[in-house]
């Protein structure tokens, strides 16, 4: 009931040009959201704990404080017209605290359903959508029993605070259970059955305060060392699978009373007849790395769509403008920037991070070839 009234507030009182968007988190996603907000005449207030947050460089106002600093959060929440977050690992308590003071989109409900892998999988399963088989693991005994049911190989994942492969360990044989459990250091977890898949795809979608839904064409993702390496469009899937993927994303967005951009990662598998099937891997309640191509490859970027949605504004068009290749620049990849600028087909994006640490997303490069 509470969420419904929040949504109505956005419909009755959409933001006006000149208003301020509060963003929890100061990484590259916050930075690109701030740039999109500026294009639409909006101001931004970035809240992040790290001094060298990339989003600080382009924000109208910044607050550098911890997510537990309730006084700083209060001042922040009361200074802006709507609050959003750029990653799903901000503490749920922080989101709930902010939501009591101002509009938060996506809401704390969406955050809790995506930052905890157990709730995430339960949410997906409750809608009748396919996920990898899973079991909750709260203690070592649970893990032993889960391995008996799901077999090996299987993947032990912390319920919370995992991304880019962090907090995951592959279990190849039952006798690895003890060591794997120890690596969790007591964190609640789930065991996931291993799903042999042929492709990884994602749907980047957006839902407006009035329930309107739009989605970009499905993209195909290639990971290296658990980090997104490349995104390509169109994905090599059948039209039926394509439509099914979009429908699954819409079911999730509707179920979560979602407002903003939602990313849903899926595995393409083969059923017993060799036909394509889809399994949802995970969701992200935010703009997503696999949607960066939309900056040049779609009529409206995912960043603008998210801003429009959380302002209570009409959505833009998700129309794709060409054949797309987006490649992440991870760590020292960024040293190629001069060579990348030489190719006039490249759109180079750098995130303003000073240190090119291993595995760190430093930028990306997109090519769009006209259809």
The answer to whether 365 touches 326, Cβ cutoff 8 Å, is yes
Q: What minimum distance in Å lies between the beta carbon of 46 and a second copy?
A: 12
Buried b (16+ CB within 10 A) or exposed e, 96-124: ebbbeebbbbbbbbbbbbbbbbbebbebb
Residues 349-368 that bind a second copy (CB under 8 A): 349-354, 363
Q: Does 12 bind a second copy (CB under 8 A)?
A: no
Among 163, 197, 213, 337, binds a second copy (CB under 8 A): 337
Residues 96 and 91: their CA atoms lie apart, in Å, by 9
- The encoded tokens of residue 292 equal 């960066």
Q: What minimum distance in Å lies between the beta carbon of 363 and a second copy?
A: 7
Q: Does 188 bind a second copy (CB under 8 A)?
A: no
**Count of residues binding a second copy (CB under 8 A)?**
43
Binding string to a second copy for residues 164 to 183, with x set by CB under 8 A, is what?
--------------------
The answer to whether 194 touches 220, Cβ cutoff 8 Å, is no
For 71, the 3-state DSSP assignment is helix
For 216, the 3-state DSSP assignment is coil
For 77, the 3-state DSSP assignment is helix
Among 9, 57, 187, 195, binds a second copy (CB under 8 A): 57
Q: What minimum distance in Å lies between the beta carbon of 230 and a second copy?
A: 20
25's CB contacts (< 8 A; 6+ apart) are 46, 47, 48, 55, 85, 86, 87, 90
Q: Does 91 bind a second copy (CB under 8 A)?
A: no
Residues 371 and 358: their CA atoms lie apart, in Å, by 36
Map tokens 């039209």 to a residue: 239
Among 2, 13, 225, 299, binds a second copy (CB under 8 A): 299
Q: Does 325 bind a second copy (CB under 8 A)?
A: no
Q: Does 40 bind a second copy (CB under 8 A)?
A: yes
**Of 44 and 84, CB closest to a second copy:** 44
Q: Does 255 bind a second copy (CB under 8 A)?
A: no
Interacting residues toward a second copy by CB under 8 A: 17-18, 31, 34-35, 38-44, 56-60, 299-300, 308, 313-314, 316-317, 319, 321, 334, 337-338, 341-342, 344-345, 348-354, 363, 370-371
């Amino acid at each position: 009931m509470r969420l419904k009234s929040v949504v109505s507030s956005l419909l009755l009182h959409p933001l006006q040009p000149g208003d301020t968007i509060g963003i929890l988190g100061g990484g590259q996603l916050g930075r690109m959201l701030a740039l999109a907000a500026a294009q639409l005449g909006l101001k931004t207030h970035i809240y992040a704990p790290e001094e060298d947050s990339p989003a600080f460089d382009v924000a109208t106002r910044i607050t550098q404080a911890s997510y537990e600093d309730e006084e700083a959060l209060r001042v922040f929440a009361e200074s802006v017209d709507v609050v959003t977050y750029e990653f799903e690992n901000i503490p749920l308590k922080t989101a709930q605290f902010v939501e009591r003071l101002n509009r938060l989109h996506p809401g704390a409900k969406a955050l809790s359903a995506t930052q905890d892998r157990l709730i995430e999988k339960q949410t997906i399963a409750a809608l009748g959508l396919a996920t990898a088989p899973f079991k909750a693991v709260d203690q070592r005994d649970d893990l032993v029993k889960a391995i008996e049911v799901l077999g090996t190989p299987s993947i032990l994942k912390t319920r919370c605070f995992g991304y880019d492969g962090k907090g995951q360990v592959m279990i190849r044989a039952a006798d690895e259970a003890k060591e794997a459990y120890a690596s969790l250091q007591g964190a609640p977890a789930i065991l996931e059955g291993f799903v042999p898949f042929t492709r990884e795809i994602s749907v980047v979608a957006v839902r407006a305060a009035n329930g309107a839904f739009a989605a970009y064409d499905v993209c195909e993702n290639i990971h290296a060392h658990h980090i997104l390496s490349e995104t390509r469009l169109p994905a090599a899937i059948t039209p039926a699978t394509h439509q099914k993927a979009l429908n699954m994303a819409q079911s999730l967005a509707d179920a979560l009373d979602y407002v903003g951009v939602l990313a849903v990662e899926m595995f393409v598998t083969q059923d017993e007849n060799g036909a394509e099937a889809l399994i949802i891997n995970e969701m992200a309640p935010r703009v997503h790395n696999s949607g960066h191509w939309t900056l040049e490859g779609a009529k409206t970027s995912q960043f603008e769509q998210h801003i429009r949605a959380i302002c209570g504004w009409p959505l833009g068009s998700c129309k794709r403008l060409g054949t797309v290749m987006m490649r992440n620049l991870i760590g020292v990849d960024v040293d190629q920037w001069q060579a990348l600028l030489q190719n006039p087909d490249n759109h180079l994006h750098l995130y303003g991070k000073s240190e090119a640490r291993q595995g760190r997303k430093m930028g990306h490069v997109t090519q769009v070839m006209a259809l």
